[in-house]
Chain A
Amino acid sequence: MTRTFTVPLFIIEEHHEAFFIWSYGYFNGFIRPFGNTLLHVDSHEDMGSTRLNASVDELADDLPAIYNYGYRELGIASFIIPAIYRGIINNYTYLCRYDAYCGKKIHQYVASWQSQGKYFETGEVKPLLRRRLESDNTQWGQYQFFSYQAIGITGQFITGQPLILDIDLDYFSCDNSLSSAKTKIEITEEAYLDFINNKYHPLRLMPAAAFSTGKEAERYYLYYTERQEEKDLKKVTADTIDKRINRFIDFLKNNNLKPGLINICRSRFSGYTPADQWKYIEDNLLAGLGTLYNLNITHINELEPFGEASIEKSV
């Protein structure tokens, strides 16, 4: 592969921003508005789905609205399903491991509850799906199809569709304990007392005991700690990061991949990429990618004019 291929590369801070970047990508002709292949390079699949307050179907061809929608509605692990449902992606390939693993390609669908574009169901395409697709009497509608496959870094990968190369820096070293993330917010004394005195407080009754409260220097705080791993379980040394980046660059080279768009997610505020390593990983990854492509790099903050409107939660 010669280094004559120019590719736009967008740096984002957290992964839900990818939804906007992909939209920006088809508005600017880097990818298509439909039927792209996503190569997701990450320590996490990010294929979660939560109920949205505002329908993704109501989004018009309006970049500022899409920008604000992403911050308002999407989570850092639940931005891909809406993009698939929207039609932007119909091939999801997850580069997940450092060996020759190659999972079976599975044909899947995503549909929305009462065709509202807010709550989604995904499943495997099977013969009985025909009955639902042909029925007028079903609660699910607006079906979208996609293929799912997980592959390892020595695997083969080919696509004839426009390719989005979606890289999270935590693929190269990950801190699933989120030890560097600051996830506390100050609350009133009244709210603090309400929490500690009520053993059935709704914020205690979560799948994981994620919320707790505390008092620091006469001020009261609500803490959020997700069900995460032990600290530094998947954090690796700089030497290992170097090896992983080299292997990833070899993967791109060996498969002769020519992405229409690359986005790199730092994941430093969420804490998934270790605070003391994200810059090292990013610099070395960009250097590696630069050996393959002429990179036209833009940070999402440079597109900030899109974000002038409020991102407050709409109800």
Chain B
Amino acid sequence: MGYKELQNLFKEIAQKAALDKDYRELCLKDSRAAIRLLAGQDAEILEHIVFLEEEGACPQEGPFFVLPPYIKKSWLLGQEKE
């Protein structure tokens, strides 16, 4: 996978994790599965990524990727799914 493809893939992952609670949980629980869900089963992801909710709550070094915040549904847009 090329650099630009990776950039686009992680743009897609970030947006989905901001909107889809189930996908976000998958990112946090099983990053490989979360990446493959959007990249395709055959995609070659060279680096193992660990997704984090927030910067800071992690050991100093690691292949971390900090997710954007989950955007809750507001009362204007309907109830949040539990």
Binding site for B on A (CB under 8 A): 26-27, 32-35, 37, 59-61, 86-88, 90-91, 105, 107, 109, 125-131, 133-134, 142-147, 158-161, 256, 258
Known pairs A145-B68, A160-B64, A161-B64; A128 contacts B76 (CB<8 A)? yes
- Chain B CB within 10 Å, residue with most, of A91, A143, A158, A160: A160
Cβ-neighbour of B6 out of A34, A90, A142, A143 (below 8 A)? A34
Complex CA distance for A131 and B69, rounded to whole angstroms = 15
Q: Which of B11-51 contact A (CB under 8 A)?
A: 11, 14-15, 18-19, 47
Structural contact, B4 and A127, CB atoms closer than 8 A: no
Of the A-B pairs whose beta carbons lie under 8 Å apart in the complex, a sample of 8, sorted by A's number, is A33-B3, A33-B6, A105-B55, A134-B19, A147-B55, A160-B52, A256-B60, A258-B60
Give chain A residues whose Cβ lies under 8 Å from the Cβ of B55. 37, 91, 105, 147, 158-161
Structural contact, A88 and B7, CB atoms closer than 8 A: yes
User: With contacts defined as CB atoms under 8 Å apart, how many contacts are there between chain A and chain B in the complex?
Assistant: 97
Binding site for A on B (CB under 8 A): 2-4, 6-11, 14-15, 18-19, 47, 52, 55-56, 58-62, 64-66, 68-69, 71-74, 76-77
Give chain B residues whose Cβ lies under 8 Å from the Cβ of A258. 60-61
Give chain A residues whose Cβ lies under 8 Å from the Cβ of B10. 34-35, 87
- Nearest-neighbour CB distance to chain B for A64, whole angstroms, equals 15
Complex CA distance for A109 and B14, rounded to whole angstroms = 11
Known pairs A60-B4, A61-B4, A91-B55; A127 contacts B73 (CB<8 A)? yes
Structural contact, A127 and B71, CB atoms closer than 8 A: yes
Structural contact, B69 and A107, CB atoms closer than 8 A: yes
Give chain A residues whose Cβ lies under 8 Å from the Cβ of B71. 125-127, 129-130, 133
Give chain B residues whose Cβ lies under 8 Å from the Cβ of A90. 14, 65-66, 68
Complex CA distance for A95 and B69, rounded to whole angstroms = 23
Structural contact, B15 and A143, CB atoms closer than 8 A: yes
Structural contact, A27 and B77, CB atoms closer than 8 A: no
Give chain A residues whose Cβ lies under 8 Å from the Cβ of B3. 26-27, 33, 61
- Chain A CB within 10 Å, residue with most, of B2, B7, B18: B7
Give chain A residues whose Cβ lies under 8 Å from the Cβ of B47. 32
Residue of B nearest to A149 (CB): B55
Complex CA distance for A158 and B62, rounded to whole angstroms = 12
Complex CA distance for A105 and B66, rounded to whole angstroms = 13
